[in-house]
Structure 1
Amino acid sequence: MRFHRLARSGAIVAVTSLLGALVGFTPVTAYAAPVGTKCKDVAGYSITKRPPAKSDLPGLGASRSTDGANGRPYQYHNPGENVRGHAEPTARDLAPYGNSTAGKAPGTLPHLYSSWNRYQANKAAELRKWQENPVGKKPSPALPWDKWLSRYVPNQGNDARGKAFEKLLVEEIGLGGDDWICQGDLTANGETRRYDAINSRHKVAYEFKSGRTIDAAQLAKDAQIAKSQGYRVVYVFGDKPTAATVRRLQAAGVDHHIMKATPNAVNSARPNAGASAQVMNPKVNVPARGAANDMFAGSGRTLDQAREAARVDDDLARQSGRPDQRMRRPGGIDFSTMELRYVSETDNGQGLGYGFEADDVADEDVEPGFGGLEQAQLASDSLFTWLALQPSAFWVNLNPDTPDQIMDDRFAKTDAGRVLLDADLTLKRSHAKLLNPQTPLGDRLWDALHFDTPTLVPCLPLRIWISAKPASVRDEGGRLYILDAPLKVNAEYMVVKNQPEKYKCQQSEAQAKENVATYQQIILPELEKVVNTDPAYADLRRVYLSRVAAEWLRQRAATRSTAFTPIINSNDTSRWPARVRWNKLDTYNAYLKSFNEGEFVYHRDVPDGSGQTISVPLVLGGVDFAQAPKKPVSATTFKKEHPKLPVTVARSVQAPVNYETTANPDLTWMGGDAMVHQAPAAPAEEPEPPTGGSGGGLPITGASVVGAVGTGLALLAGGVTLLVWQRRRRRIFRA
């Protein structure tokens, strides 16, 4: 991890040793023994476990992962938390601080303002350069303050988080024998690399990463060490690395192991400023906070903004001196798949806990995830819409015979209502696409339908609508885990009165009903699969999961007063109006146009050699969520099938947590809560705005010996001031 890890009591001795090394410096041979301190002698470590056998060491056995019984929580102090949620400064606020962070402590307003000034200046210079020679893509706009701040805050804790994770692993693995060196150096071909733990007898070198990030410069040295000295270089991650990261490690001949651990910034109590603090909060004056809200706050609204946020994060991570220890970024989350999967009552019903589940993106460096805040707002707004309106309003209906019964007027003012009506129109188009005779499924249907003559298109008078199947839930009193919430597609015989002449049925009712039965057997199962899996229905599935959660909260409030009592059946959705401009008549008119004029026309050969033109009209339909049935999961089944879910949900309040299932090993949980928290300490200030110097940054693992000597000279020449951050032990978040 950090090459300059010094015991507090021996800082000056260590620097003096560096001077001695400089005076009598001799080039180290390519196969020098590791140099460092025995792990058991490192100040602050408490190693009680016996050193494991070589075959039991992480990364040297068959397993790639060692699960902790409780998710391995560990604490650290992040000075950046002092300024979380800080209001955007004015030009007058910023003027005294310049663009340099040199000599300014992270997490103080001078450091914050200087960092922001530097970012703004760099973006302005980038734009000017492009304007002088406008070749290539125009630089992306600068991030707004709140998006930039959401990247500043976590990166100020990289150093402390990395050290805390190192301590956790050294103690948990049991690296206390005489053979184990911590912060030890290995040299190959003139390149020196510092590792977190080395055992020369076992020929293994460990690099501990609290997150999932690797450093390209370190990896290049690792490849040399492994090749020339025969060491097994093993990266141990606290978070599951991406497939792309694993491929890079394998290409370098480096092994890896996962020991999942959840960092908790013990001084974290401030909410983010802005919209993310209003997600999932029933009380407007009690902001929501947690890892989920942090991800929402930092997520780019568009792909371009997500890429700019990643560049900002890279820059701030480098400035922290510990880019290899940064936390999970919003760009690693596929927010298009994010769903509300957990809710709980906190503070005796006066607060709300929640957890979201989402897929990881394939490679955030290529295409980062975006839209986290917008998807979270949809889930949150829908939750409160389902509570505020009565269940009898939760329907939509596209039917040419009933233009006055499209949907409830109050429901039409919400995004939940918009999503349901859009899904109804999408359902009709999905139905028509599945009838394409050029596909195996469509061809099978048309072969099975009843024909009076080869060229006569058979009748298929249908009403198709979406409703809910019972949701599989685990209800543990004040906690609800939503394990599955499938949707059902229904189809029944129904004749439209206002049918266009070209679509009017020329078969008997008995023949038409026979055709509907054939459709139900062949097409309906596939249509239901589309609704439950296709991205086109992701918003519908998202708002329905909120419906399940809302029904549970509604039932919990039936016998006592909770934070949701004033909302339930109030018919007041003014806090959660539609964020997307829309009109129900626009959707209805689009449906009528397709219904009357035809949108899907296919050609099909028939046995007599003639051609058959099939024009498929849009059918009747709707979406009905008036009911939200549940199927309870027993404690025994839940423990057997989801043994790690409770601790995953609890830990996800502090940081995003990887969660693996048989169907999907790359899921992430993000949690939070909306409840009253202890007030944080005021941010640290400096008496006078510092001036001069260039941006600071501490070195990372992998620095050369010569670089370390230079640092030692600088420390002695200028005097050494050690600023010790006292870690607060109190826990702020409650899971």
Structure 2
Amino acid sequence: MIKDHGLVGPDWICQKEVEFKDPDTGKTYRRKLDAFNTRTKQILEIKSNGGPDRREIPKDLAWAKDPNWKDSRAKFVFAEPQKADAKKFLGDMRQIAGDRVTEYNYRSDRVELAPKGGQRATSGLLEPPGQSGTTRGGATDLIRESRPTPKDMAEYLNRRNVANPGGLPRGPGGVDFSTLDLKYIGKPVKGKGVDFAFDANEDPTEKSGWGGKAKAQLISDAFFTWLALSPDKFWVNLNPDEPDRIMDAKFGKTDAGRVLLEADLQMKHDFYKAMDPDTDLGKRYWAALPKQNGYPCMPGLRNWIEPKTAQVREQDGGIYILDTPLRLKSTAQTTITPGPGTPICTPNEAETKAAQRVIDQMIVPAVEKTINTAPQYADLRRVYTARVAAEYIRQQDAKAPTDYHKIINSGDVSRWPLRAPNQNWTREALFNKYRYIYTHGEFEYKIPANGTVQVYLVGGVDMSKQPKHNVSKARFTAQHRYLPRQAQTSVKTLTDNTDMTGRVLLGANTAADDTGTSTPTPTPTPTPTHTGRPTPTPTHSGGGGGSTHTPPPATPAPSEPGGDLAHTGNDSPIGLISGIAAALAVAGGALVWWMRRGKTAQE
């Protein structure tokens, strides 16, 4: 406690007696504080279990209301997982005192040291060649207990509880694996493995806990895919005009490639779903579009996802992945593949720009929020984070060969095959699904116009330029004070991630060490979506096509990776992520890529 919370110096007093007055009742309470800072008025209350002392609750509520204490802050520390009364108490306190009330959670009921004799669960997560089946740690333990479906998990937990009714809490049922992502990867030391840590939402009800193996395996497989394939393979292409250029053959046999291709199709669906005129946003959108002959007019579109600046911290030989937000981009696009019917309008340059402004202001932000938060994009976010970790390993290997050296750019992804739920998944099948939607439409909208109701039928991922910012040490210490220690603890056992309330850390080490410790692209252009052009037919309209403009001929993807050098917080430019993740190519991909790159260079 003293170490973690800085309880040193003459300003800190233990068992300090103070008075709080409840302005609502006029009652004055005498309160003995566990620790109090006379200079900052910081209060620290320490609970040896997971609940508050009921006798102290009215006194603490009085503190929250007392105007004489409005400049003080209170932190409540729990030694065990919070009980329901603790959560209610903290909720009541925050309703009154807001962010002046914080919490910190330990897990004293979990043994931190690994057992002797090599009995811990093992797996192959993130392990380099030569260490087969040796990944050990808290993550491995919980993932081993996780079951593939909710039904399987419930049955397993019931059996476990019957066999050990007074057993330790915080089993796999306490982790929501649907939110699992990679948080930290340590410095790879040849022959000693590498530490890593996932984080995920905790589940106090212990009713989840399923799906852990699939999510962790996806992260691990994607990590190795980004290492094994060279950046010129990182492209996929959902262009209705190019059925023979969907994605690289090797990339198409990996889950990383599958996830990116599926996310692109999902994004197209969500983009046009956001335009639904039956919603408030959709109604305002159609009303704001430029009109041609009294009817709303929008151009054909291509939309793609690209990273915003990722927030990371390189420290103590490892990298903490703090935030990896994604951005949605949209621009006008024409294709030669027709949809049903004929376009209701052919917007001129001014109308195209006006419509694009409306799209950028109304539709893009809504869909971008969905991409960064919705569960249907969770796998995309996992794959992207794995790419950040892989590029960090590439960078370290360039300095000195690591255990991953033989994998990097080997071109061999056979050890990390496609593990899609549907084993018959193919890139061609997904392309055919996309092309059918493109040519037949997906959403049918009825838009009032000119006194009639007009039927409209409407309806990828470019991570090649991932800007990365290494946050300063001061900022990292202020915002993530406990993360380094917690990351190391997580290698041995489940622990809290106090960066975010309700998140837990679970890690492991890739070497066969019972203690679980070690020393610390090309840029193809985005794919087009459905053109979105409405047609005047009363039952079907050709939002999926209808353009008479011919796109430039397809050209091979450039051979050199694109993207700027990332800039770190310590003012040393490094190429951590110079061709991050995968990009989606469109017809004329190289031409548009060079145009985009040229513009960036001029800026």
Cα distance change on mapping 1:407 and 1:65 into 2, 3 Å:
farther
Matched, 1:311 2:158: yes
CA offset at residue 272 of structure 1? 4.7
Identity of aligned residues (%): 35
Distance in 1 of aligned mates of 2:303 and 2:90: 51
CA offset at residue 282 of structure 1? 1.4
Match of 1:301 in 2: 148
For the residue of structure 1 that corresponds to 2:152, the secondary structure is helix
Distance in 2 of aligned mates of 1:452 and 1:63: 71
Match of 1:530 in 2: 370
Q: Which of 60, 82, 87 does residue 241 from structure 1 map onto?
A: 82
CA offset at residue 244 of structure 1? 8.0
Match of 2:315 in 1: 476
Match of 1:436 in 2: 276
CA offset at residue 432 of structure 1? 0.8
Distance in 2 of aligned mates of 1:310 and 1:637: 41
Match of 1:654 in 2: 492
Q: Which of 557, 565, 572 does residue 412 from structure 2 map onto?
A: 572
Cα distance change on mapping 1:554 and 1:445 into 2, 3 Å:
same
Matched, 1:598 2:436: no
CA offset at residue 350 of structure 1? 4.8
Decide whether the 8 Å contact of 1:352 with 1:675 is kept in 2. yes
Q: Which of 119, 129, 134 does residue 283 from structure 1 map onto?
A: 129
Match of 1:380 in 2: 220
For the residue of structure 2 that corresponds to 1:278, the secondary structure is coil
CA offset at residue 387 of structure 1? 0.4
Query: Match for 1:631: what amino acid?
Result: H
Query: Match for 1:339: what amino acid?
Result: D
State the Cα deviation string for residues 428-455 of structure 1 (Å, max 9, x = none): 000110111111211121111111123x
Match of 2:508 in 1: 672
CA offset at residue 346 of structure 1? 4.2
State the Cα deviation string for residues 19-45 of structure 1 (Å, max 9, x = none): xxxxxxxxxxxxxxxxxxxxxxxxxxx
For the residue of structure 1 that corresponds to 2:501, the secondary structure is coil
Query: Match for 2:477: what amino acid?
Result: K
Query: Match for 1:283: what amino acid?
Result: P
Distance in 2 of aligned mates of 1:249 and 1:517: 45
Match of 1:426 in 2: 266
CA offset at residue 265 of structure 1? 3.1
TM (norm. structure 1) is: 0.57
Match of 1:133 in 2: none
For the residue of structure 2 that corresponds to 1:496, the secondary structure is coil
Distance in 2 of aligned mates of 1:64 and 1:548: 43
- Between Structure 1 and Structure 2, the one with more helix by share is 1
Matched, 1:355 2:233: no
Alignment gaps of 5+ in structure 1: 1-50, 67-171, 174-205, 215-221, 224-234, 251-255, 679-730
Question: Superposition RMSD on alpha carbons, in Å?
Answer: 3.5
Distance in 2 of aligned mates of 1:65 and 1:384: 48
Query: Match for 1:598: what amino acid?
Result: G
CA offset at residue 315 of structure 1? 2.3
Matched, 1:333 2:175: yes
State the Cα deviation string for residues 294-353 of structure 1 (Å, max 9, x = none): 1110112110111122112212333xxx43xx1411111111111001101243575221
For the residue of structure 1 that corresponds to 2:313, the secondary structure is strand
Q: Which runs of 4+ in 1 moved over 6 A?
A: 60-66, 247-250
Match of 1:502 in 2: 341
Decide whether the 8 Å contact of 1:292 with 1:670 is kept in 2. yes
State the Cα deviation string for residues 638-683 of structure 1 (Å, max 9, x = none): 111111111111111121112233xx410000111112426xxxxx
Question: What does 1:601-680 correspond to in 2, within 5 Å?
Answer: 601-606=444-449, 608-617=450-459, 622-661=460-499, 664-677=500-513
Cα distance change on mapping 1:528 and 1:257 into 2, 3 Å:
closer
CA offset at residue 503 of structure 1? 5.1
Decide whether the 8 Å contact of 2:254 with 2:417 is kept in 1. yes
Match of 2:331 in 1: 492
Distance in 1 of aligned mates of 2:145 and 2:31: 38
Give the count of matched residue pairs.
Answer: 454
Distance in 2 of aligned mates of 1:675 and 1:249: 41
Query: Match for 1:677: what amino acid?
Result: D
Distance in 2 of aligned mates of 1:61 and 1:471: 45
Match of 2:70 in 1: none
Cα distance change on mapping 1:64 and 1:665 into 2, 3 Å:
farther
TM (norm. structure 2) is: 0.69
Query: Match for 1:241: what amino acid?
Result: Q
Cα distance change on mapping 1:345 and 1:676 into 2, 3 Å:
farther
Match of 1:32 in 2: none
For the residue of structure 2 that corresponds to 1:498, the secondary structure is coil
Match of 1:13 in 2: none
Query: Match for 1:497: what amino acid?
Result: I
Decide whether the 8 Å contact of 1:240 with 1:658 is kept in 2. no
Query: Match for 2:432: what amino acid?
Result: N
State the Cα deviation string for residues 475-533 of structure 1 (Å, max 9, x = none): 12520000111112111111111122525363233123431232122211211111111
Match of 2:112 in 1: 264
Cα distance change on mapping 1:601 and 1:243 into 2, 3 Å:
farther
Decide whether the 8 Å contact of 1:271 with 1:289 is kept in 2. no
Distance in 1 of aligned mates of 2:35 and 2:142: 26
Decide whether the 8 Å contact of 1:396 with 1:424 is kept in 2. no
Distance in 2 of aligned mates of 1:62 and 1:388: 60
